[in-house]
Amino acid sequence: MNTIIYSIILALYIYTTILGSIGQIGLGIFQIIIAILISTDIKKANNLGYKALQIYWYFVLAYSIAFMLFITSDSLNNFSSSILYIIPMTIGFYFVIVTFLIYKYSNL
């Protein structure tokens, strides 16, 4: 499901950036909800999935801090496209890989 939604958002970006941006907000909310649910159910015996999920949460935290700095500062205008479009989609792609690894190597 995560892969399908991510692919739809990429298609929306190819069609028009505005629709992709709007869809990206929904993708982010969907992925964070899924990550919370997986975090509560993952077995620590699945070391690869557990570590990958921890790295995902570090990425989300780092991006959240960078986004807050972007909103409150005018000096980051040169990085606006990467902060608003590229980085979140990269984190989203990483989460697609994380969910694949978790469901492949565990029985959730």
- Tell me the per-residue pLDDT of 4-39, one tens digit each, with 9 for 90 and over: 888 888 888 888 888 888 888 888 899 999 999 888
User: Which of these, 75, 76, 1, 88, lies nearest to 38 by C-alpha position?
Assistant: 1
- Which one has a higher pLDDT value, 40 or 107? 40
Every domain of the chain and the residues it spans: 2-105
Q: How far is CA 74 from the centre of its chain?
A: 25
Total residues belonging to the chain: 108
Q: What is the mean pLDDT of residues 85-101?
A: 89
- Tell me the per-residue pLDDT of 39-81, one tens digit each, with 9 for 90 and over: 887 766 667 888 888 999 999 999 888 888 777 776 656 666 6
Of all residues in the chain, what percent are helix, strand and coil, respectively (each to 5)? 85, 0, 15
pTM (global) more than 0.95: no
